[in-house]
């Protein structure tokens, strides 16, 4: 066989097997394509399932945004500790709740935010018992002059059975829940003249908030009270529209009333406080576990606030003296005697039994 014939023979063999090999390659390609398509389909199915699972998980742990409102400035502990509480609740609930805190009457005055609890426009507020007493009068007994000896007595009251009963009465009436109580400050008097006894207030023009319990002591002592708007008090003192006013020491310092009143009278007639209140609808939506978290954190925030206010008040007494102001200690028993003789519990809707029970707390 010549080279040409051998070559021709190989060429013939090659022509015979080429179609078979091509067919095998084509079949292999089709198999690979099918496998890839199946793998792609399975991958897409797995991705879809994962997406559904993730979506379900996200829905189960969806973030709920709440509104916490108050009327105090951003520099005050009532705000800073509310912000701390909001962050702490978010942390302890693994981000299930995001709480936005609205200070300085951004969502309305104190009466407005109390109404907001009913309307559902706010979830949490900080407010005084004078507003809670509009719905349940007996709880306002805590504003009766000289019911508390000092801040420690107030805090002991918040842990007592009488507090639980009064708070429950408010809850039964409104559905809202008082979760914590903060010390706001002890209310004292500033004046143009030195005052040492109740009779010294007779005829004095005194600015007092238009709250019945706040009016009790000044009127029992014979003062002529005027409900001047808080924002106008400094000017009213400066121009002589009124001769005196009453507020906690921290407010006297913050609003600079000491610039136009040189006498700080430590009358201590009301140990003031604020309630942290959660709306009926919001409280009902919480699990038992979350209710406990909210209550625990809010009470911690209240304790932090109380500590800050107490420390500031102690420092301010010395600070006022250093500024040359006349800081006057008074006979509180004389003031209290006049109040008890001239003011009736029934006029306020309070129960004397509640007053006696609170006074007996040690």
Neighbouring residues of 127: CB distance < 8 A, sequence distance ≥ 6:
70, 110, 113, 114, 274, 275, 277
- Angle at CA of residue 57, ends 52 and 62, nearest 5°: 120
Distance CA 213, CA 273 (A): 13
The confidence score (pLDDT) of residue 2 equals 35
Average pLDDT of adjacent 10-residue blocks, the chain of 362 residues: 35 42 51 55 52 47 90 94 99 98 95 97 97 96 96 98 98 98 98 96 96 93 94 95 97 94 98 98 98 99 98 97 97 96 91 96 95
CB 181 within 8 A of CB 302: yes
pTM greater than 0.85 (yes/no)? no
Distance CA 285, CA 332 (A): 46
Distance CA 182, CA 125 (A): 12
The confidence score (pLDDT) of residue 275 equals 99
CB 184 within 8 A of CB 309: yes
All structural domains of the chain: 64-359 (3.40.190.170)
**Cα distance between the two ends of the chain:** 128
CB 214 within 8 A of CB 333: no
B/e letters for 6-24, b = 16+ CB within 10 Å, e = fewer, are: eeeeeeeeeeeeeeeeeee
B/e letters for 334-346, b = 16+ CB within 10 Å, e = fewer, are: ebbebbeeebeee
Distance CA 329, CA 193 (A): 14
- Tell me how far CA of residue 196 lies from CA of 56, 74, 191, 236, 335, in angstroms: 69, 35, 11, 23, 10
Helix, strand, coil percentages in the chain from 3-state DSSP, rounded to 5: 60, 15, 25
Q: How many CB atoms lie within 10 A of CB 350?
A: 23
CB 185 within 8 A of CB 151: no
Radius of gyration of the chain (CA): 36
The confidence score (pLDDT) of residue 29 equals 54
The confidence score (pLDDT) of residue 212 equals 87
The confidence score (pLDDT) of residue 36 equals 56
The confidence score (pLDDT) of residue 96 equals 97
- Angle at CA of residue 305, ends 304 and 308, nearest 5°: 90
The confidence score (pLDDT) of residue 78 equals 97
């Amino acid at each position: 066989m010549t080279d040409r014939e051998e070559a021709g023979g190989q060429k013939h063999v090659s022509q015979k097997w080429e179609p078979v090999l091509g067919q095998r390659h084509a079949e292999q390609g089709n198999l690979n394509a099918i496998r890839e398509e199946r793998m792609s389909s399975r991958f897409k199915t797995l991705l879809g399932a994962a997406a559904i699972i993730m979506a379900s998980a996200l829905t189960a742990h969806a973030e709920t945004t709440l509104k916490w409102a108050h009327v105090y400035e951003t520099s005050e502990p009532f705000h800073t500790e509310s912000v701390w509480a909001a962050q702490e609740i978010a942390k302890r609930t693994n981000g299930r709740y995001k709480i936005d805190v609205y200070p300085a009457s951004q969502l309305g005055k104190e009466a407005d935010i109390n109404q907001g609890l009913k309307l559902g426009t706010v979830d949490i507020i900080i407010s005084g018992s004078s507003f809670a007493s509009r719905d349940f009068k007996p709880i306002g007994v805590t504003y009766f002059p000289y019911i508390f000896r000092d801040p420690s007595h107030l805090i002991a009251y918040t842990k007592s059975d009488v507090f639980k009963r009064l708070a429950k009465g408010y809850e039964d009436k409104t559905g809202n829940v008082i979760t914590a109580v903060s010390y706001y400050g002890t209310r004292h008097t500033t004046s143009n003249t030195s005052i040492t006894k109740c009779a010294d207030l007779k005829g004095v023009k005194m600015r007092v908030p238009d709250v019945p319990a706040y009016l009790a002591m000044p009127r029992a002592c014979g003062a002529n009270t005027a409900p001047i708007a808080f924002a106008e008090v400094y000017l009213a003192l400066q121009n002589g529209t009124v001769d005196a006013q009453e507020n906690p020491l921290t407010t006297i310092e913050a609003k600079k009333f000491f610039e136009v009143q040189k006498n700080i009278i430590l009358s201590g007639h009301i140990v003031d406080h604020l309630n942290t209140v959660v709306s009926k609808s919001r409280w009902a939506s919480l699990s038992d576990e979350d209710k406990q978290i909210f209550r625990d954190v809010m009470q911690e925030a209240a304790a932090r606030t109380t500590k800050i206010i107490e420390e500031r008040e102690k420092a301010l007494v010395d600070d006022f003296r250093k500024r040359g102001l006349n800081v006057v200690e008074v006979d509180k028993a004389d003031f209290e005697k006049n109040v008890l003789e001239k003011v009736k519990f029934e006029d306020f809707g309070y129960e004397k039994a509640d007053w006696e029970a609170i006074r007996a707390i040690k």
